[in-house]
Amino acid sequence: MFFELERGRVGILTFEELKDDYVMYGFSKETIGECEKNQYNFRSNHFVTKDFVFAVIDLIQLHDVFGEKGRVAIYLKTDLCLIVDVRDASGTIREHFESVIKRFEKNDNGLKHAVPELFLYHFLDDLMVDDRTFLENMEIQMSALETRMLSERVNPAFVDEILGIKKELMYIWNYYEQLIDVGEVLRDNENDMFPEENVRKFGIFVNRVKRINENVRDLKEYTVQLQETHDAMLDYNLNNIMKLFTVVTTIFLPLTLIVGWYGMNFQNMPELTWKYGYLGVIVFSAIVVGVCFGLFRKHRLL
């Protein structure tokens, strides 16, 4: 699928179509191999030659960060912007491509006044169209988690939830770092293929990705704060339990003394033969417990 531009054209191909026709477009076979390498880590590989710029980008869906990654290869020449669908089970690469086409067609100037590098800028920008909203919603989710941690009993599930968010943010961080690398390659315009006023757009793209990535970094720091809050809540609850045990032990310590005292069984202890000795010890013990309890309540230790 190709569209004519003011200078050159723009198109989208499947990877199989690229393997059949890459010689016709003047691309090296090395770029074909690069499209299939390293299926696990995020890519930032690129080639800058005198004739074209090549880059590979791994794509993720923010709502399903650990789902299958997509992969798009980009070839940019002075008269061609080629988007290659290397791997895209969800069809989002073609959706982004068609979205940019429609955006240009709605413009009064249309595609006839577009150029390859500016089309690529809009395509890369469209990859992040809903990212700020997603990250804002994630921040709201984390804030709600913090509120639950402060209002509910400490729950071991909180740790799993915090670690899950932390892993997602690390994954997203690497994704944006990859976009920054590609944007900087295009912004630098090492082969001087494009006008400076057009290349400046890629600088805008890089700055936008960096701002989003700073937001991701702030959220990563927020997860650390959440973990520290959870640990503080654990310590607080443990301290409360230890305080309760200490208070209970202190209240009943005088009773232990009384039991030990009257357990000596000396012959001349008058209470042993007193008619009301048993009842007297009970009343005395109750008074001691009551006094201790009152003192602790007065000093807000209970």
| pLDDT tens per residue across span 239-248 | 877 877 888 8
Query: For 58-74, how does the pLDDT look when each residue is reduced to its tens digit (9 = 90+)?
Result: 998 888 888 888 899 99
**Euclidean distance between CA atoms 127 and 93, whole angstroms:** 9
Q: Given this model, what pLDDT does residue 28 score?
A: 86
Contact call for residues 83 and 11 (beta carbons, < 8 A): yes
Q: Comparing C-alpha atoms, which of 186, 169, 209, 175 is closest to residue 47?
A: 186
Q: Given this model, what pLDDT does residue 140 score?
A: 92
Select the more confidently predicted residue: 286 or 297: 286
Distances (CA, A) of 105 to 80, 109, 111, 297: 18, 8, 6, 77
Query: For 135-174, how does the pLDDT look when each residue is reduced to its tens digit (9 = 90+)?
Result: 999 999 989 888 888 777 667 778 888 888 999 999 999 9
Residue with tokens 């305080």: 243
pLDDT at 193 over 70: yes
Of the candidate ranges 21-25, 108-112, 179-183, 197-201, the one whose mean pLDDT is the lowest: 108-112
- Tell me the mean pLDDT in the region 16-45: 82
Query: For 110-122, how does the pLDDT look when each residue is reduced to its tens digit (9 = 90+)?
Result: 777 788 999 999 9
Other C-beta atoms within 10 Å of 92: how many? 17
